[in-house]
Amino acid sequence: MQAIRAVKVERSSVSRFDPLRFCAPPVTAVERRALVAEAAYFRAERRRFEAGHELEDWLAAEAEVDRSLASGAAGIFRKESGG
Under DSSP, is residue 47 helix (H, G, I), strand (E, B) or coil?
A: coil
Question: How far apart (Å, rounded) are the C-alpha atoms in residues 43 and 36?
Answer: 10
Give the orientation angle of helix 54-71 with respect to helix 29-46, to 10 degrees: 130
Phi and psi, residue 4, nearest 5°: -95, 125
Per-residue pLDDT of 12-66, as tens digits, reads: 555 677 776 777 678 899 999 999 999 999 999 999 999 999 999 999 999 999 9
